[in-house]
Structure formats: structure tokens, C-alpha cells
Amino acid sequence: MSAAEPPQGANSAPAGGSAAAKPQAWGDHISLLLFVLFMLSSTAFDGLHETLPWVTVFWKNIFPVLTAGSSQPYTVTVNYYYYWQWAMLLVSPFVYLVVYLAFIVLSKWAAGSAKSVHALALAFALALVPIAFVYNVTHYFTLLASQGVQIVRIASDPFGFQWNLFGTATLPSDPIILDAGTVWHAQVTLILIGHILGVYVSHVEALRVFRGTRRAIVSQLPMLMLMILFTTAGLWILSLPIAGGQVLQAPPS
């Protein structure tokens, strides 16, 4: 055995060193997992919070409870709606975290792994990145498609100083209006592609973590269900009708 290649299982840390001196991978910090989950949850919430079912839940079920017995005028209590929306946005990544950890526990149990839930949650966090990416692209798809052409024109005059650095400042600036059917099918396609990539990344990570094809495949059954759940949720949000007005008119006195 070469002196440059230590025996397997040997401690490669320098004498007197500690485990803390080892370089940490990107997923070694729970904050990065929460960031990825917030990319997912915030985009999903942004698409959900103006939909008719979501708005109806507040005004028909939550608002009456919050204002029961209150003598405050409607102009004051109507602000509860915005407080509720902000609170739900802050809570959303933790809801996704609970769902994600539940499926990680199922994956750990299916594979019979001795690794901790914490370690597995960080290991599979990378599989969520393609899903978070396509969530953002689909959410802003119409804006990118209709207003994205402005980037070429604005690049020549980014500060509005009447510049024409690249000769593109005078290009037509009319937005592109896309057919609703085209937008829908493009969004669905992007969501499906993102989740397929997420399943693939998760499978590759499982082969590395669980050391065995059979254990890796079995462990991925719960993760596959998680991807299907995220896909279904994303498509369901896309299909919801948008509320005509988020704030109801003041009730008759």
C-alpha cells in the first residue's frame, strides 16, 4: 500500500486536529436546507395566496373567529388579512420541512439505515434544487416571456441616460402576449422536467449514501412519493382560479 494512500477507515485528520477542522460540504448546514425549502414554499405560496380557495378560507372561516366580539371598525380589522398572509408566508418553509422530514424518516426506515434523520435530510436536500428552480421559472414564466425581451433593449441604456451602448436601445419594446394554452402547457412541462431531475438526483445520492442498489431503490420509494406530492401540489396551484378581489367590502353595519 502506498504511503500516500492511508488505509480505509484510518483517521486522516492531522495529529492534534479535530473533526471540526474538516471542510464541510454545502449541505452540512441546516440553514441551506431551509433556504431551498423556502425557495419552494415561498414560490408555491406566492402562487396560492391570491387564489379563490385560499382567500375564501380566510374570509369565511378565519376572519369571523378573529373579529368575534370585537368592537374595532372594519377599516382596522381588515388588516388581519395581511397579517395572516405574512404569517403564512413565514410558516410555509417549516410546513415543507415537516413534510420533507416525514418522507426522510420513511426512506430511512425502508432502507434500514443507521444514519440519522438529520444526516439523510441534508444528503437529499440537493434533490430539491431542480424542483425549486422550475417552481420559480414557472411562477414568473409569463413575466419572463412577455417582458424578458426588454432586457436586450435596456442593456444599452440601463440607467435611462439615453445611452445606446450596444445599438439595441431603439429596438421595439412591445411586450409579447402569449396564448394562455401555450403558457399552461409550458409550465406543466417545466414542472414535470424539474421533478424528473429531482428524482434522478435523489437516486444518485441514494446509491452513494446507502451502499447497495437494492437498499437505494427501496429507499427511493418514499422519495418518489414526495416528488409526486410536490408535482401534484404545483399543478393544483396552477389550476386554481384567481380571486377577483382579495379584500372583501365592508359588511353592512
pTM of the model: 0.70
pLDDT at residue 114 is higher than 60: yes
C-alpha cell at 142: 409569463
More confident residue, 176 or 53: 53
pLDDT tens, position by position, 13-39: 444 444 444 444 444 577 888 888 888
Percent of the chain at pLDDT above 70? 84
| Residue whose grid cell is 369565511 | 60
**What pLDDT sits at residue 103?**
92
pLDDT tens, position by position, 37-73: 888 888 888 888 888 888 888 888 888 888 887 777 7
pLDDT at residue 175 is higher than 80: no
Q: Phi/psi class of residue 113: alpha, beta or left (left: φ > 0; alpha: ψ in -120 to 50)?
A: beta
